Amino acid sequence: MKWQTILGLIWTAALVVTMAWLGKEGYRAAIAYEQASAESAKMMEAEQVAQSRLKDLASTLTFGMVKNDLREKLQRLEAQQEQARQKARRIVLWFAGTALSALVSAFFLPIRLATGLLSVAALIALINGLITPILMVTVHKNVEYLGDVVLSFESKGILGSVAKLFHEGNWPIAGVILLFSVLLPALKTLSLLFVSLYETRPFAAKMVRFFKHLGKWSMLDVFVVALLLVFLTSRGTDVSRAEAEIGIYFFLAYVILSLAASLAAEKMLEGVRSEE
């Protein structure tokens, strides 16, 4: 084995391990942000806001002897929320940088190794894109005497949204999202990884051609996520605040890496045919 190949394997392994670790840390940061946001939203419900207003009044009448512990708790939660948000953003930037490194590295690695690297990277991005929250929706309203209160809070990932849609009876939407954002992407990515391991087998070319024919449907990966975002943000008649979470960026990374892996696999098989 040539030393260039050994260095390529080491570099590939380092990129894969780094992406897997960043994906795990990104998921943990996103969940921490989701939990802090949920607790903060609960503190802004009408009953909690009313209690806080009464404690503010008691604190004023007693010249500060009575403390508003609810307000202090809310401030702590908001600090935790901001800390988790900043951490999640930093991690997704590092993940994007590592994914970009994988894309650039593919130009310099042996084509088989490049195909394997891009396939594994796409699989890591897909898994994190499916399990990490993609959207947070808060419905709030300005209530007389209380001010701004939260009516509902919801944060979902793609898998969680599919499960909820099935539970609520929205079978067509749930089925489309499950098929084009979960099943087909997973099958395609695993197939590309399999092709990189067994590129000389006759069925390898057939698998790549099959997914190439599905290329015209590739934008459905993005479309179904957009459909999900519109569905979630359109719910409720009061004022809504929607915030994209890092799961959407993981999924976007998957779309790009998957496309690059498909191109690499096609080029690899062309080389195999030319050698025969």
What's the rounded Cα separation, in Å, for the pair 45 and 266?
A: 55
pLDDT of residue 123: 95
pLDDT of residue 6: 83
What's the rounded Cα separation, in Å, for the pair 87 and 90?
A: 5
Give pLDDT < 50 ranges for the chain: 236-237
What's the rounded Cα separation, in Å, for the pair 196 and 213?
A: 19
Report residue 143 as tokens.
């209530």
For the entire predicted model, the pTM comes to: 0.84
pLDDT of residue 33: 93
Name the residue among 99, 92, 96, 78 with its Cα closest to residue 30: 92
The region that residue 137 occupies, defined by phi over 0 for left and psi between -120 and 50 for alpha, beta otherwise, is beta
Contact 262, 211 (CB under 8 A): yes
pLDDT of residue 14: 95
The tens digit of pLDDT for each residue in 52-100 reads 777 776 667 776 676 767 777 888 888 999 999 999 999 999 999 999 9
Q: Number of C-alpha atoms within 13 angstroms, CB side, residue 255?
A: 18
pLDDT of residue 25: 96
The region that residue 99 occupies, defined by phi over 0 for left and psi between -120 and 50 for alpha, beta otherwise, is alpha
In the three-class reduction of DSSP (H, G, I as helix; E, B as strand; rest coil), residue 156 is classed as: strand
Contact 126, 232 (CB under 8 A): no
pLDDT of residue 15: 95
Give the DSSP per-residue string, 208-246.
HHHHHHGGGGTTHHHHHHHHHHHHHHT--SSEEEEEE-T
pLDDT of residue 183: 85
Q: Could you tell me the end-to-end alpha-carbon distance of the chain, in angstroms, rounded to an integer?
A: 23
Report residue 223 as tokens.
């479309």
Cα–Cα separations (whole angstroms), residue 82 to 35, 115, 192, 264: 12, 38, 39, 40
**Neighbouring residues of 91: CB distance < 8 A, sequence distance ≥ 6:** 22, 25, 26, 29, 246
